Amino acid sequence: MSSPDLLIIDKLVKRYDGLLATDDLSFSLREGELHAIIGPNGAGKTTLIKQLTGEIASDAGAIHFDGRPIRRLSEPARSHIGIARSFQITSLFPDFTVLENVMLAVQAHQGHSFRFWRATGKEERLIEPARALLDDMGMEDSADHLVAALSHGEQRQLEIAVALATKPKLLLLDEPMAGMSSEDSGHLVEILRRLKSRYSILLIEHDMDAVFSLADRITVLVYGRAIATGTPDEIRDNEEVRRAYLGEEA
């Protein structure tokens, strides 16, 4: 028996001066699923993420999350109900330590103002959950390092830890492996493999080896429209997908 749908996208539309960036798009993401969105550049993948977070407004269609319509909710309201995002470009505090960055996210989620840094650096209610998240990401040995000193791959891992500090029901990952070395990408794949049983994840990624290794289901976008949704094997065997995106002759 399959898990219930956590996220339902129904006939979603976004236009820019007559250009359809999201074209009557429909798909769903199940609880506990890692669902990947793939497609060529310009397919509308990042536009979709921005529609889901509320960063940009949709022109038509519906978004249901955890049983409720959210298309008209603000970006902060969507974060509050459990949608977290990591970005294509890292958005961290480079002059703070790894641990401090995660502690700030924990503090924000707990609803406290940023009273830099008075007693915050010694508060166990922030330190313990922050260290647990760093353990999840395999970064416990880097807790006291400045973010500015981290490699690109380590910064991407940290950004996911920061997103997880909000205790999301849905984690949106926008090209987390962009710019990574093959070694760092492989390490992040292993981390996501561990996380996927505990979080519902929507993954946008160009690394096809990672996508087909991790995804439970894949949706393929071309010019803002879903041309296929299925398991990795179903997507590999789909002739339209091979012609449109995977670069193979049917």
pLDDT, tens digit (0-9, with 9 covering 90-100), for 101-160: 999 888 887 765 445 544 455 678 899 999 999 998 999 999 999 999 999 899 999 999
pLDDT for residue 96: 94
Q: In what order do the strands lie in the sheet with 34-38?
A: 83-86, 170-174, 200-204, 34-38, 217-222, 225-230
Question: Over pLDDT 70: what percentage of the chain?
Answer: 90
Distance CA 146, CA 120 (A): 17
The reply to whether omega before 117 is within 30° of 0 (cis) is yes
Which residue, among 171, 175, 102, has the nearest Cα to 143 in the 3D structure? 102
- What are the angstrom distances between the C-alpha of 235 and each of 45, 134, 218? 17, 34, 7
- Angle at CA of residue 192, ends 107 and 100, nearest 5°: 25
Q: What is the pLDDT of residue 124?
A: 80
Per-residue confidence of the chain (250 residues) as pLDDT tens digits? 567 999 999 999 999 988 999 999 999 999 999 999 999 888 899 999 999 999 999 999 999 999 999 999 999 999 989 999 986 455 789 999 999 999 988 888 776 544 554 445 567 889 999 999 999 899 999 999 999 999 989 999 999 999 999 899 999 999 999 888 889 899 999 999 999 888 999 999 989 999 999 999 999 999 999 999 999 999 999 998 988 776 554 3
- Contact status, residue 12 vs residue 26, Cβ threshold 8 Å: yes
With residue 233 as reference, give the H or E element that holds it.
Answer: helix 232-236
Looking only at the bridges linking them, the beta strands covering 200-204 and 34-38 are: parallel
Domains and CATH numbers, the chain: 1-82+168-250 (3.40.50.300), 95-166 (no CATH)
Q: Which amino acid is at 20?
A: L
The bridge status of strand 34-38 relative to strand 60-65 is unpaired
> Which residues, 6+ apart, have CB-to-CB distance to 190 below 8 Å?
none
pLDDT of res. 115: 53
Query: Which amino acid is it at 233?
Result: D
pLDDT of residue 250: 36
What does the DSSP 8-state code read for residue 244? I
Distance CA 199, CA 169 (A): 7
Question: Which residues contact residue 168 at a Cβ distance below 8 angstroms, ignoring those fewer than 6 apart?
Answer: 82, 83, 84, 199
pLDDT at 90: 57
* Residue 219 CB coordination number (10 Å): 25
Task: Read off φ and ψ for residue 35, nearest 5 degrees.
Answer: -110, 120
Structure tokens at 118: 């008075």
Helices 182-195 & 152-164 angle (0-180, nearest 10)? 20
Instruction: Give dist(CA 94, CA 45) in Å, integer.
Output: 28
How confident is the model at residue 112, as a pLDDT?
53
With tokens 């976004």, the residue in question is: 14
Residue 151 tokens read as 């490699």
